[in-house]
Amino acid sequence: MISNRKKLRWIRVHQLFDTPDEGPNFLSNELRYIDWDYYPRSPFPDTFRPNKLVVLKLGYSLQEELWKGYKGDHQFSFRLQPPFPLLKNSLQKLVLNDFYWQDEEISNDIGQLANLLRLNLCYNRFTRIHFSLSQLTRLKHLDQSNCTLLVEVPELPTRLAFFRADDCEKLTSMGDSYKKCKWLCQVSLIEGGIINDGNRLLESMLQGNGIENKNMVLQLQGFKNAMEIALFTGDGCRLKLSENWRNDFSGFLICTLSYIGITSVSMKLVMESDMQSEDNKACKESTERLVVWYISFDSLRHNTPTWWKSINNAYSISFKANSSGNYCYGIGVRLVARKNGAGPTEILTLKKNL
């Protein structure tokens, strides 16, 4: 059936374990989208020229070679690699999940995919990605979760906004991989190794572009420097508001430490007459999950205009962590200074026993 479709543009095949050894002997060169689980062991047809392919999603494959190469001005031989030379101008999304490869490193030609926006390499067994990953100047989304042998992250592309490496138990440091990333706003590194330089990653994200008007989420496992970002025991806390705080700061940084994650955090305005004397008690080092949200003032002004206007008369703001059970071990809040340096760098929260 597929071999007879000369102008086929979209194909989705989800076969199960009874996958044949041989794949189709022809695929249309007009294909824009391929989503194929358990693609047969054989490589794609030699005649297939995917110059127009935008999305390539392959999973659970036993292939040892995706493309045999093609004859022309150059000879290409790709073992465990998709046809990068043919795809470099068209491909925008690449998903290669749970391949039957054991290579220590994946894809020294991955940097040729000049227009790639999303890359998903989950459930694979490589230890690192080639340094040419940084050449993907348009890449915004990278997911390499459940790569249990992953030990190192290369230099990340400068435009990357989303990075996920959950369940990577051997990954304990991000190194300097993100030093040139100015747009990171969502990072998740949970259910795996304990990241020992999480605080440095957080501060780098806060110094990125767009922090004045964008929100940010960071998830870490076993955060060792929780005290450095104002984390305290209890599931509620209060943040005292200083004079001119809305001019000196750009948003709230809310941190929660929990067993299964916090579903939401509520904020309540507190007038001066409602303030009570409270004790401050530090939270000990923990291996639980730390979630950090950055909420910009611009987003609050836009999404909750009535609440934002009423804040003028508030002495402080009370924060309460809402979880599906009593699993919150700590919550803390600080104000993030604007990048022009006005105001103090942070204001620590006061603990509230609830």
Cβ–Cβ under 8 Å, residues 1 and 26: no
Question: What is the DSSP code (8-state) at residue 104?
Answer: S
pLDDT exceeds 70 at position 351: no
pLDDT exceeds 70 at position 150: yes
Q: Can you tell me the mean pLDDT for 97-120? A: 72
The pLDDT, as a whole number, for residue 18 is 63
The pLDDT, as a whole number, for residue 81 is 43
State the Cα–Cα distance between residues 291 and 283, nearest whole angstrom.
15
Is residue 331 helix, strand or coil?
strand
Q: Can you tell me the mean pLDDT for 191-201? A: 87
State the Cα–Cα distance between residues 48 and 132, nearest whole angstrom.
26
Range of lowest pLDDT (24-38, 65-79, 94-108, 226-240) = 65-79
Cβ–Cβ under 8 Å, residues 106 and 82: no
The pLDDT, as a whole number, for residue 72 is 34
Q: Can you tell me the mean pLDDT for 214-221? A: 89
State the Cα–Cα distance between residues 285 and 223, nearest whole angstrom.
8
User: pLDDT tens across 85-107, in order?
Assistant: 567 778 999 998 887 555 545 55
Task: Select, from the ranges 61-70, 112-121, 226-235, 279-288, the one with the highest average predicted confidence (pLDDT).
Answer: 112-121
The pLDDT, as a whole number, for residue 1 is 54
Q: Can you tell me the mean pLDDT for 50-78? A: 61
The pLDDT, as a whole number, for residue 63 is 65
Task: Give the chain's end-to-end CA distance (angstroms, integer).
Answer: 65
- Tell me the whole-structure pTM to 2 decimals: 0.83
pLDDT exceeds 60 at position 70: no
pLDDT exceeds 70 at position 243: yes
Confidence of residue 54 (pLDDT cuts 50, 70, 90): very high
Is residue 188 helix, strand or coil?
strand
User: pLDDT tens across 301-328, in order?
Assistant: 888 888 888 887 788 888 888 766 557 7
How are strands ordered across the β-sheet holding 316-322? 264-270, 316-322, 236-240, 350-351
pLDDT exceeds 80 at position 335: yes
Strands 236-240 and 216-221: what pairing?
unpaired
Structural Rg of the chain based on CA atoms? 24
Confidence of residue 189 (pLDDT cuts 50, 70, 90): very high
Q: Can you tell me the mean pLDDT for 198-209? A: 90
